[in-house]
């Protein structure tokens, strides 16, 4: 009986590990969850699509309007993905269902549809994707097109001080992957 219980625990651990390693961001989904700008989401929705993960919610603020921030974390506490919905109306603070505006992938455990992950060097990402656009955010830079963007910084330089040639020469690591636009940092 003891061996049977051990076998069941090992099988469950293997299944959980396998499921946690399969998550992928595409233009239209993250894992099994369909995504689209303006698609309604809630804490319950995210938990339903990612039952093996921890999901939290809070109201956050920054240079932008306040926003609903849903954070998907591993059982070990690693932040994997953030879902953002900006609050544009005074009654938006109390809504439990909100419209999806942005997704940020933080963890190298999650890849995009091209096989790119956070912490990957940008030259590796460029080898996997062509026809990417280069640009500057508030304090960082980005590469990407369509709905998948790679955020990175070059030697503590302000984003507008960096050219694509400089970025390729320095070859920094991707800090995060954003959807559907480059994140304004």
Query: If you average pLDDT over residues 39-45, what whole number do you get?
Result: 98
Predicted confidence band of residue 64 (pLDDT cuts 50, 70, 90): confident
Q: Is the peptide bond before 113 cis (omega within 30 degrees of 0)?
A: no
Q: What pLDDT score does 156 carry?
A: 83
- Give the whole-angstrom CA distance, residue 162 versus residue 159: 6
What are the CA-CA distances from residue 52 to residues 93, 95, 104, 107, 173 (Å)?
27, 25, 19, 16, 28
Q: How high is the pLDDT of residue 184?
A: 76
pLDDT tens for residues 106-140?
Answer: 999 999 999 999 999 999 999 999 899 999 988 89
The two structure tokens encoding residue 157:
């330089």
What are 177's strand-pairing partners? 105, 150
| Range with the poorest average pLDDT among 59-63, 77-81, 98-102, 119-123 | 59-63
Q: Tell me how far apart the alpha carbons of residues 133 and 116 are, in angstroms, rounded to a whole number.
A: 16
In DSSP terms, 69 is beta-bridged to: 58, 84
Is the per-residue pLDDT at 151 higher than 80?
yes
pTM score of the predicted model: 0.87
* Distances, alpha carbon 62 to alpha carbons 65, 68, 96, 159, in Å: 7, 12, 21, 19
pLDDT, mean of residues 158-184: 94
Q: Strand runs (DSSP E) across 50-110, as ranges?
A: 54-60, 67-73, 79-86, 97-99, 102-105
Report residue 128 as tokens.
Answer: 């996997």
Looking at residue 174, what DSSP letter applies? Answer: P
Per domain, the residue ranges of the chain are 25-107, 111-185
């Amino acid at each position: 009986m003891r061996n049977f219980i051990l076998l069941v625990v090992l099988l469950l651990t293997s299944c959980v590990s396998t499921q946690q390693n399969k998550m992928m961001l595409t233009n239209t989904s993250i894992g099994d969850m369909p995504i689209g700008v303006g698609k309604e989401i809630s804490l319950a929705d995210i938990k339903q699509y990612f039952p093996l993960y921890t999901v939290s919610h809070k109201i956050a603020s920054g240079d932008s309007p306040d926003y609903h921030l849903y954070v998907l974390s591993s059982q070990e506490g690693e932040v994997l993905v953030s879902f953002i919905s900006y609050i544009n109306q005074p009654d938006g603070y109390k809504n439990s269902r909100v419209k999806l505006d942005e997704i940020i992938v933080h963890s190298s455990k999650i890849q995009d549809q091209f096989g790119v992950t956070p912490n990957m060097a940008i030259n590796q990402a460029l080898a996997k994707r062509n026809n990417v656009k280069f640009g500057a955010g508030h304090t960082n830079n980005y590469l990407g097109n369509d709905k998948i963007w790679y955020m990175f910084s070059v030697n503590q330089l302000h984003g507008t001080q960096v050219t694509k040639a400089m970025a390729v020469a320095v070859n920094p690591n991707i800090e995060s992957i954003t959807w559907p636009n480059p994140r304004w940092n």
